[in-house]
């Protein structure tokens, strides 16, 4: 049974950490009102935007957890399950954001922009559970 972590997986973990920091900084930017992603004039439920900001911070913080130490503990299945659930919820949040932007654009008689940024975030989030799983079990990578 091979336990050495491949270089590509270590690089993916570094990218995961960068992604977590990006999520936290992006959420803080939204929460402080500095260059927000949404036009305040068209948002009818600003509390949902604050809630999504706190959720993004929570997801980012979960990505920054010391996974090397957690992998050896008995809490691994629970924490990995939490990460998986959060990443799926994040994907749904990105899909909901795209739908909301399309609805707002349609109501204004405009055509919505392609959701490139949300798609990148969605796929980056969905990559996190497999990366973490294979860090623990690199022998299953073959």
Assigned domain for 73 exists: yes
**DSSP state string for 77-114:** HHHHHHHHHHHHHHHHHHHHHHHHHHHHHHHTT-PPPP
pLDDT on residue 31: 86
pLDDT in tens, 30-61: 888 777 776 767 677 778 888 999 999 999 99
- Note whether residue 132 is domain-resident: yes
Which pLDDT does position 2 carry in this prediction?
54
Q: Structure pTM?
A: 0.86
Q: What is the mean pLDDT of residues 78-96?
A: 95
pLDDT at 119: 92
Higher pLDDT, 87 or 107: 87
Q: Does residue 88 belong to any structural domain of this protein?
A: yes
- Residue 1 included in any domain: no
Domain encompassing residue 131: 7-141
Residue 2 belongs to some domain of the structure: no
Number of domains present in the structure of the chain = 1
Please check whether residue 19 lies inside any domain of the structure.
yes
The more confidently predicted of residues 142 and 126 is 126
Spatial distance between the Cα atoms of 30 and 97, rounded to a whole number of angstroms: 14
Find the mean pLDDT for residues 112-139.
Answer: 91
């Amino acid at each position: 049974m091979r336990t050495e972590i491949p270089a590509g997986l270590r690089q993916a973990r570094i990218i995961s950490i960068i992604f977590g920091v990006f999520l936290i900084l992006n959420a803080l930017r939204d929460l402080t009102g500095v260059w927000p992603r949404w036009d305040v004039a068209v948002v009818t439920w600003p509390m949902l935007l604050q809630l999504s900001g706190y959720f993004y911070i929570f997801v980012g913080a979960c990505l920054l957890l010391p996974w090397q130490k957690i992998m050896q503990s008995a809490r691994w299945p629970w924490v990995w399950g939490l990460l998986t659930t959060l990443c799926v919820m994040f994907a749904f949040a990105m899909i909901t954001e795209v739908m909301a932007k399309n609805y707002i654009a349609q109501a204004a008689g405009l055509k919505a922009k392609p959701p490139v940024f949300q798609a990148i975030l969605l796929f980056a989030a969905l990559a996190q559970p497999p990366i973490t799983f294979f860090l623990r079990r690199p022998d299953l990578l073959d």
